[in-house]
Amino acid sequence: MSNRQEVMREIQVAVVAAVPEGEARSFEAAGREISLVNDGGYVYALDGMCTHQELPLDGGEVEDGTLTCEWHGATFDVCSGRAKSLPAVRPLRTYEARVDEEGKIFVTLPADA
C-alpha cells in the first residue's frame, strides 16, 4: 500500500452552454480526453473513452444518471463511473467537476496529466 498522495490541479475545460443536457461532450484537458455530461442540471466529468474498446464517448446519450456509449451500448453511472451493463465491465474514472458563477466548468485532474 502506497502512502503517496496524488497531486491534483483544477483546469477550465468548457462552459455549460457547450454541454447540452442529455448528451456527453468530450474535451481535451491536460492531455486527457474528458467527457462532460449535464444530467438534471448537474455536471459530471468522466474519462472520455469507453472502457470496452477505447472508443470515444462523445455524443453518448445521458438519461437518469446513466451514460450510454453509442458504439456498443455499454452503460455507465455518471456519478461513480461504474459499468452498469455489458459489454463494459471496467468503470470509467471520474473527476470532480465545478461550475462557477459565470458558467465555466472546471475539472480537477492529476497534476502529472
User: For the structural domain made of 14-93, what CATH number should be given?
Assistant: 2.102.10.10
* Residues 58-112: tens digit of each pLDDT: 999 999 999 999 999 999 999 999 999 999 999 999 999 999 999 999 999 987 6
Could you give the CA distance from residue 87 to residue 90 in angstroms, rounded to a whole number?
Answer: 9
Annotated domain spans of the chain: 14-93
**pTM, rounded to two decimals:** 0.89
